[in-house]
Structure 1
Amino acid sequence: MKKALAVAVAVALTATACGSEEKDDAPQFAERGTFTYAIPADPGELDPANAVLGATNTVLAFAYDTLVHSDADGKIVSGLAEKWQAQADKVTFTLRKGVTCADKSPVTPQTVADSMNYLSDPKNKATLLGVLIPAGMSATADEAAGTVTLATKDPNPFLLESMTAVYVVCGEGLKDRSVLKTKTSGSGPYPLFESVANDHYVFKAREDYAWGADGAKYEPSMPAVVDLKVVKDESTAANMITTGGLNGAQFTGADRKRVEAVPGIRKGSAPDGIGEFFFHQGEGRAAADPAVRKALVQSLDLNELRTIASGGNGEAATHLTSLAPDPCRGDSVTGNLPQSDPAAAATALDGAGWQAGTDGARAKDGKPLKLRIAYQTSAGPGVQAGMEYVAQKWKALGVETELVGSADAKYSDSLFKNGDWDMAWVPLGLSLPTQLVGYLSGPGPDAQGSNFAHIANTTYDDLAAAAAKQVGAAGCGQWTNAEAALVKNVDVVPVVRPTQLVASKGAMVEVIGGVVRPTSIRMLKN
């Protein structure tokens, strides 16, 4: 689990959750065209067992299916499974009949069971194990009934929802996983046809496809060819979509306004993870004292920080998950964070023993109050400006700060290996409350755990444990209360839910759960 977040937090946890497109009254569709879309990074290895990067999941979504899907509102809809029954420790899926892999082999309950059991076997070291696949999960096929049952050793309230993001491998790739490094082997609507690493990934349509999200089928208005182009710079993507070199791309930075003004652009908006910060609460750290954490937050205007960090393209974060299906959407944040009051913050630090000297700098027992502020340079100029704002406010409070911006890999090492930070801006974009538990409780990285901030909140632990015994949305009230306990104690400070622009030209497209939904694409006449 720690490994997955270390990768994802550095590269892909700011992926979109759902996207909506402006719709014409009567759009005129073109038939069997080519759809070109920008992905911001090369997907790397294409084995779905290790699909944690946003770009990887975007690529795989064209070639693979999942048992179920989520719609934009978080409702679970059919995929390979047409029916399902969820219990506390198992989910039984009834599969659609007539589903075939890209190589025409049938997708049977045993196919699905074999694909899932590969992921749950520790010897295969699947990155998804412990994140979307619970440790100890087993899959059992019943060919006569047409079902596959996923069972867990411990209760798992969102096992059904987790399956919206687990791709099923079939055919050749199920027999020989080595082929999945560069090829696809799934039942999805667009098998991979051609690829050049760091350049492009081309897919061709299966016109017999009839088992997509909520029963979606291949339609003539869908593209016959999909060309995913690796475009690492948003300005380049903006130029390409302006001149017709792309049909679609997603934008988070300054180029979004330029793209929005292009004639013929269709504009959709999508959540872009949760921008929040954590304090290191390890032994000997100043922020281990909740009074210090609360004072530091009280010195800030979080509304102002929200605007700066998101470039004005965000809304207040109200809970800690953001990606579809996001089943628990209660407000755990509003009213639970300290209100902005710099004078009260100074008084609180005085009370905590951090006294200001003649130069205004605070110290306690001869030790200066110094905080290292860590953030990813890839997060963009908004986040950097936001951290500069924080440093300025804390300096006025008498806190010495050091801004440490670093590239993705080094940033992840700082969180999970080195611990050389005191406040970290972490762009989390998870979909289920259960995915947060290992990062917000339990052992820290120094004890082989994932609790990088060394949080110890017994109220959260107890409420999360109780919520985990419920099935799905039945436990959402407890999950919301558990999150609220963290926010009240300033264990986590949710600031902003930024948005991305999903822009398209000559096509319509929907982004759900962080990736393009292939069956949503429609080509438009000029």
Structure 2
Amino acid sequence: MRTPQAAALTALALLAAACGGTEGGGAPAGGGTFTYALPADPGVLDPSMGVLNVTNTTLSLAYDTLVSATADGKIVPGLAEKWTVEPDKVTFTLRKGATCSDGAPVMPSDVAASLNDITDPDTKSPIYGVLVPTGMKADADDAAGTVTLSTPKPFSFILETGRSFYVVCGKGAKDHSLLARATYGSGPYKLTEAVPGDHYTFKVRREYTWGPSGGTAKDAPETVVVKIVPNEQTAANLLVAGTINGATIYGPDRARLEATPGMGKKVIPSGNGQFFYHQGDDRPGHDPAVRKALTQAIDLKELAGIASSGTGRPATGLVLDPRPCPGDTITGHVPAFDAAAAAAALDAAGWRAGADGIRVKDGKRLTLRYLYATTRGSGVQAAAEYLAAAWRKAGVEVKLNGVIDTKLSESLNTTQDWDVVWLPIGVTLPSQLVGFMSGPAAPKGANFAHMANDRYESLVAKATEVPAAEGCAQWREAESALFENADLVPVVENTVLLASKGATYEQVAGLFLPTTIRLTQ
């Protein structure tokens, strides 16, 4: 049995790159070691608690999902070779011959246990209600080789849920205490050494032949090392020197790497740069008029260039491409920049300038504690300083609080010590946003910003119960309702550089396709 843990409910988990791969010269070389730089330690490696992107990037080397997706969004077999879909359930037939890293066969009961562990209230899994819909359960038939995922009522993306959770198998399925610093998955790599804060070493499983689209481990590197490199400039230097083989680069070092001969590179979208207002009863952001005024005080176009270091592009939605519901949900739905209107709105809301220029209401100063992750590059730091300066002009006292990812999670969900947070979210389905944007507020749920948008919730309720294509208009309208209410403010669609040297690899939504990793001569 697992010891209950406090859920680390942070949307940072879902910060992810869209599909992309590196391109490099040279013929594939067998054996050897592929080393990848990760900006932060992945922490506990239990897949049911995998909320941080750095955790899931690491786990993707060792674990499989029931189904996978191609670059154009098509669902393809994973551990499941076929499936039948009904409005409120999907039955997967598992392929034969897949084995766990400890040699045990992968059974439907392993899949069911993995899903039901996530949904168990004692687990307090942060991906329940986000990647796995509320109320879902799994039933296995080991004799028939099938597992059925079902929901209490129709759910539009029920098939796609099969790509949203990792299957734990073998001994790990029976004792989750083994998962903190070890892996028990059916993926092509097995963790053999964990040195927190420094590196994680994986060894290949040559017997792996059941990857998506026929992927095997036949030509994969013998060893993969995930090296913790918090400083992006250091990671770039290690790439140039050939000390590491891959890294995802967000900041200004991109230009240097793109100009480096022999460097494999591909620029891909990586989710939005955006900020949220805390809407708790005692917060300035509880008042929608204040949220809209604070948004009007910002030149979002200028902020976009600063936050992305000039490498971003206009954001058009919250879901990563390829979107199941294409369309622009942002344009025309975000309060436009108007400093005079912002000032007038704050006056009307009762926040009047004091002797020192800071606005006051009922004896309380208009103070915003602005929270952001220092691991997201220099652009995010510069964006924080820009926002602070703009809001100070509007009569707001701003206190900047830059922290590492794990402290950000703690502040969001435990101490709740923030008023505005810069928090990129990258999801592949609109349903994955619902737990963050509605429902129980943190620390009881994933709704870290204490949102309560009735229109959003009503539209989502209608969209969820019809097949995905039929509900797309309502999913799009629901997203726009968030922006109109200034619940969150989309600023820019970020891009990242997938860089490599002496190797090639592919990632989808920030996760490795590990059978694509190749060393090159």
Pairwise same-fold verdict (TM > 0.5): yes
> Structure 1's 363 and 376: CA in aligned 2 closer, same or farther, altered over 3 A?
same
> Structure 1's 503 and 163: CA in aligned 2 closer, same or farther, altered over 3 A?
same
How far residue 68 of structure 1 moved from its aligned partner, in angstroms, is 0.7
Moved more, 469-478 or 119-128: 119-128
Work out whether residues 34 and 519 of structure 2, in 8 Å CA contact, stay in contact via their aligned partners in 1.
yes
How far residue 284 of structure 1 moved from its aligned partner, in angstroms, is 5.0
Q: For residue 269 of structure 1, what is the aligned residue in structure 2?
A: 267
Within a 5 Å distance, the mapping from 1:315-394 to structure 2 comes to: 315-322=313-320, 326-356=323-353, 360-364=357-361, 367-394=364-391
SS at match of 2:36: strand
> Structure 1's 414 and 23: CA in aligned 2 closer, same or farther, altered over 3 A?
closer
SS at match of 1:6: coil
Q: For residue 149 of structure 1, what is the aligned residue in structure 2?
A: 148
Partner Cα distance (2:500, 2:232) in 1: 14
Work out whether residues 138 and 150 of structure 1, in 8 Å CA contact, stay in contact via their aligned partners in 2.
yes
**Which digits, 9 at most, give the CA deviation of each residue in 1:285-334, with x for residues without a partner?**
44333333222222221011011112112222221233x77533432111
> Structure 1's 328 and 5: CA in aligned 2 closer, same or farther, altered over 3 A?
farther
> Structure 1's 325 and 197: CA in aligned 2 closer, same or farther, altered over 3 A?
farther
Q: Give the alignment's Cα RMSD to 1 decimal.
A: 2.8
**Which digits, 9 at most, give the CA deviation of each residue in 1:4-60, with x for residues without a partner?**
563553xx4433232233466xx5222333322122233333332222232332222
Moved more, 352-361 or 56-65: 352-361
Q: Could you tell me which of 283, 294, 302 is aligned with 2:300?
A: 302
Q: Which amino acid aligns with 1:521?
A: I
Partner Cα distance (1:203, 1:334) in 2: 45
> Structure 1's 210 and 230: CA in aligned 2 closer, same or farther, altered over 3 A?
same
**Which digits, 9 at most, give the CA deviation of each residue in 1:444-488, with x for residues without a partner?**
337x34433332221111101111112334322211100111111
Q: Which amino acid aligns with 2:454?
A: T
> Structure 1's 279 and 266: CA in aligned 2 closer, same or farther, altered over 3 A?
same
Q: For residue 517 of structure 1, what is the aligned residue in structure 2?
A: 513
Q: For residue 185 of structure 1, what is the aligned residue in structure 2?
A: 184
Is 1:282 aligned to 2:285, yes or no? no
> Structure 1's 287 and 229: CA in aligned 2 closer, same or farther, altered over 3 A?
closer
> Structure 1's 382 and 274: CA in aligned 2 closer, same or farther, altered over 3 A?
same
Partner Cα distance (1:371, 1:198) in 2: 32
> Structure 1's 3 and 524: CA in aligned 2 closer, same or farther, altered over 3 A?
same
SS at match of 2:427: coil
Q: For residue 490 of structure 1, what is the aligned residue in structure 2?
A: 486
> Structure 1's 415 and 192: CA in aligned 2 closer, same or farther, altered over 3 A?
closer
Q: For residue 226 of structure 1, what is the aligned residue in structure 2?
A: 224
Within a 5 Å distance, the mapping from 1:7-46 to structure 2 comes to: 7=10, 9=12, 12-22=13-23, 28-46=27-45
SS at match of 1:374: strand
Q: For residue 69 of structure 1, what is the aligned residue in structure 2?
A: 68
Is 1:506 aligned to 2:507, yes or no? no
Partner Cα distance (1:118, 1:420) in 2: 30
> Structure 1's 390 and 195: CA in aligned 2 closer, same or farther, altered over 3 A?
closer
Q: Could you tell me which of 455, 459, 466 is aligned with 1:463?
A: 459
Partner Cα distance (1:365, 1:347) in 2: 18
> Structure 1's 120 and 454: CA in aligned 2 closer, same or farther, altered over 3 A?
closer
Q: Which amino acid aligns with 2:180?
A: K
Q: Which amino acid aligns with 2:293?
A: A
Partner Cα distance (2:499, 2:270) in 1: 14
> Structure 1's 47 and 477: CA in aligned 2 closer, same or farther, altered over 3 A?
same
Q: For residue 429 of structure 1, what is the aligned residue in structure 2?
A: 426
Work out whether residues 21 and 269 of structure 1, in 8 Å CA contact, stay in contact via their aligned partners in 2.
no
Is 1:259 aligned to 2:249, yes or no? no
> Structure 1's 398 and 48: CA in aligned 2 closer, same or farther, altered over 3 A?
closer
> Structure 1's 47 and 453: CA in aligned 2 closer, same or farther, altered over 3 A?
closer
Q: Which amino acid aligns with 1:453?
A: A
How far residue 226 of structure 1 moved from its aligned partner, in angstroms, is 2.0
SS at match of 1:496: strand
> Structure 1's 110 and 464: CA in aligned 2 closer, same or farther, altered over 3 A?
same
Q: Which amino acid aligns with 1:332?
A: T
> Structure 1's 400 and 3: CA in aligned 2 closer, same or farther, altered over 3 A?
same
Number of equivalenced pairs: 517
**Which digits, 9 at most, give the CA deviation of each residue in 1:382-424, with x for residues without a partner?**
2221122122222222333333334444433443344443322
Q: Which amino acid aligns with 2:332?
A: G
> Structure 1's 141 and 32: CA in aligned 2 closer, same or farther, altered over 3 A?
same
Within a 5 Å distance, the mapping from 1:80-119 to structure 2 comes to: 80-119=79-118
How far residue 366 of structure 1 moved from its aligned partner, in angstroms, is 5.5
Partner Cα distance (2:101, 2:222) in 1: 15
Partner Cα distance (2:363, 2:126) in 1: 45
> Structure 1's 383 and 43: CA in aligned 2 closer, same or farther, altered over 3 A?
closer
Partner Cα distance (1:311, 1:239) in 2: 19
Gaps of 5+ in 1: none
SS at match of 1:258: helix
Partner Cα distance (1:427, 1:283) in 2: 24
> Structure 1's 335 and 506: CA in aligned 2 closer, same or farther, altered over 3 A?
same
**Which digits, 9 at most, give the CA deviation of each residue in 1:341-360, with x for residues without a partner?**
22333333344444446765
How far residue 368 of structure 1 moved from its aligned partner, in angstroms, is 4.2
Q: For residue 448 of structure 2, what is the aligned residue in structure 1?
A: 452
Q: Could you tell me which of 4, 9, 20 is aligned with 1:6?
A: 9
Q: For residue 312 of structure 2, what is the aligned residue in structure 1?
A: 314
Partner Cα distance (1:156, 1:427) in 2: 26
SS at match of 2:251: coil
> Structure 1's 392 and 511: CA in aligned 2 closer, same or farther, altered over 3 A?
same
Partner Cα distance (1:376, 1:215) in 2: 38
How far residue 210 of structure 1 moved from its aligned partner, in angstroms, is 1.8
Gaps of 5+ in 2: none
SS at match of 1:330: coil
Partner Cα distance (1:372, 1:273) in 2: 24
> Structure 1's 284 and 517: CA in aligned 2 closer, same or farther, altered over 3 A?
same
Moved more, 244-253 or 117-126: 117-126
Partner Cα distance (1:89, 1:424) in 2: 36
Partner Cα distance (1:5, 1:474) in 2: 34
How far residue 234 of structure 1 moved from its aligned partner, in angstroms, is 1.9
Partner Cα distance (2:371, 2:36) in 1: 32
Is 1:416 aligned to 2:416, yes or no? no
Work out whether residues 4 and 128 of structure 1, in 8 Å CA contact, stay in contact via their aligned partners in 2.
no
> Structure 1's 56 and 518: CA in aligned 2 closer, same or farther, altered over 3 A?
same
Partner Cα distance (1:8, 1:352) in 2: 30
Is 1:399 aligned to 2:402, yes or no? no
Q: Which amino acid aligns with 1:483?
A: E
Partner Cα distance (2:88, 2:43) in 1: 34
Q: For residue 247 of structure 1, what is the aligned residue in structure 2?
A: 245
